[in-house]
A and B are shown apart, each in its own frame.
Chain A
């Protein structure tokens, strides 16, 4: 069974600050993918960043980066120079290689204050 846990229901930071969202997961598989999705208020879910479990190098997409700790089964998202448009629900998700189904965490509501 796969589980994804996001222990921070809500977070709030000031614009331009750096914020880190936590995610832990459990799986018995060795080959899998991890994702962070962003869901702005009343808008569709958007893929932020993707990590392949067999790659040790942490994924980076502009201001978004991850800290992937495979042994600890931890996958945190760091947002640098936060912007008002980053305000959204953020979901961590897991998928096994070859199985396209995503298992999502409960989400973290992030608010960027001006």
Chain B
């Protein structure tokens, strides 16, 4: 198990272009999360999946953002018509959710740093 893998590590794109990021979680983890982290700030929740179902989306996730986890394994986060304000680190994390509702914390990936020029 190599942990949570995110690709690419860095992405520079021109304003108005579409970008897609990929996250491969720890294989036995059924929950997958996307967070956004701007410089000097804590991560902000975007969305999460349990298996292939997207269970919650933040208001931060505008209609230009879409996330999928088609087979309950890897996930993609797409940003359409990128804006300079989208520049941030996009973090993926995964966890194994117990039926008790306990939270033992996540395993994070190294993130994808997006720069919109």
A11 at the interface (CB under 8 A from B): no
Bound complex: CA A65 to CA B97 (Å): 25
Bound complex: CA A111 to CA B42 (Å): 18
Bound complex: CA A50 to CA B105 (Å): 8
With most chain B CB atoms within 10 A of its CB, the pick from A37, A100, A104 is A100
Interface of B is mostly: loop
A91–B43 touching, CB < 8 Å:
yes
A-B contact count (CB 8 A): 57
Interface of A is mostly: strand
B105–A44 touching, CB < 8 Å:
no
B95–A100 touching, CB < 8 Å:
yes
How distant is A64 from chain B, measured CB to nearest CB, in Å? 14
B106–A102 touching, CB < 8 Å:
yes
B43–A104 touching, CB < 8 Å:
yes
What are 23 pairs between A and B in contact, CB < 8 Å?
A: A35-B105, A37-B105, A44-B3, A44-B108, A44-B111, A45-B93, A47-B105, A47-B107, A50-B105, A52-B102, A91-B42, A91-B43, A98-B101, A100-B48, A100-B103, A101-B56, A102-B43, A102-B106, A104-B44, A106-B40, A106-B41, A106-B42, A107-B41
Chain A residue nearest to B58 in the complex (CB): A101
Residues of A within 8 A of B40 (CB): 106-107
B42–A107 touching, CB < 8 Å:
yes
Residues of B within 8 A of A87 (CB): none
B91 at the interface (CB under 8 A from A): yes
